[in-house]
Amino acid sequence: YDDRDGYIWFNGEIVPWREAKVHVLTHGLHYGSCVFEGERCYNGQVFKLTEHSERLVDGGRIMGFELPYSVAELDAATNAIIAKNGFKDCYVRPVAWRGSEQMGVSAPNSKINVAIAVWEWGAYYSDLRLTRAIYDRPAPTAAPVHAKAAGLYMICTLSKHAAEAKGFGDALMLDYRGYVAETTGANLFMVSNGALHTPIADCFLNGITRRTVMDLARQRGIEVIERRIKPEELQGAQEIFVTGTAAEVTPVRAIDDVTYPVGPVTRDLMDDFRKLTTGAA
């Protein structure tokens, strides 16, 4: 992704894409002192931009550092870099990390860097089939599970690569107790007896899309139940779908050898979400 035209917002400046580089002794690279965001811009407007900027700043605080930019400055920088690249519809990737001023686990005086890259990114999943992940989501006492922290994605990349090697699109991650958690990059819902069930977000990201879709379901009069879900319960579900900024609302067509239709609740919520994000009536 480093060799392309375009511009990246980097520590307050707009730089050519190929020049947005860091040193090999970057703390964030060695020790995972890094948080990021994922946003989508629809028709020139970033969906829930301020919520994403707030989550980035909060994520930095969870990781023990203060971003040198305010939420309002991050919002403005995001809009500026989208405009500079001339995009109307794109994905947005802000990232904040400890720099290369200090080496070692402890590096409290390292510089906090922030960059924002944007690129055109179509549908994240197609014909999504899941298989059980090789790693579980850690307990809240084992990792900063509510931050979108780069280090937490180590188990996601390993799990997703293992799933892809078996011919699946992504992995279904369980939590540290053995309950259903999420995929490697999206939250999970199941439709059962007309109600929408989703795991309690106590050890993974309470996605902005997840909360949006829960509201959209309630507006349709669908009961939304957050609870602990055992993996075997998914077998009896009528519909399963996942939600996320990149994934939007994507139906799950199979989990291992159990298949699911793209059902009416999933279709309605895909439609509602599309209308909400694009402003289409």
Residues that bind ligand PMP (CB under 6 A): 38, 148, 182, 185-187, 204-205, 207-210, 243-245
Neighbours of 193 (CB within 10 A): 9
Q: Cβ 210 to ligand PMP, closest distance in Å?
A: 6
Of 215, 149, 162, 159, the closest CA to residue 182 belongs to 159
Neighbours of 201 (CB within 10 A): 17
The closest residue (CB) to ligand PMP is: 207
Q: Cβ 36 to ligand PMP, closest distance in Å?
A: 9
Active-site hit among 88, 111, 148, 230? 148
Which CB sits closer to ligand PMP, 187 or 198?
Answer: 187
Which CB sits closer to ligand PMP, 93 or 267?
Answer: 93
Distance from C-alpha of 210 to C-alpha of 267, rounded to nearest angstrom: 16
In a 13 Å sphere around the CA of 227, the CA atoms on its Cβ side amount to: 12
Distance from C-alpha of 208 to C-alpha of 49, rounded to nearest angstrom: 10
In a 13 Å sphere around the CA of 120, the CA atoms on its Cβ side amount to: 9
Distance from C-alpha of 129 to C-alpha of 255, rounded to nearest angstrom: 6
Respond yes or no: is residue 148 known to be catalytic.
yes
Q: Cβ 196 to ligand PMP, closest distance in Å?
A: 16
Which CB sits closer to ligand PMP, 136 or 182?
Answer: 182
Q: Cβ 9 to ligand PMP, closest distance in Å?
A: 20
Which CB sits closer to ligand PMP, 245 or 277?
Answer: 245
**Sign, Cα dihedral of 127, 129, 133, 139:** positive
Q: Would you please indicate which residues are annotated as catalytic (active-site) residues?
A: 148
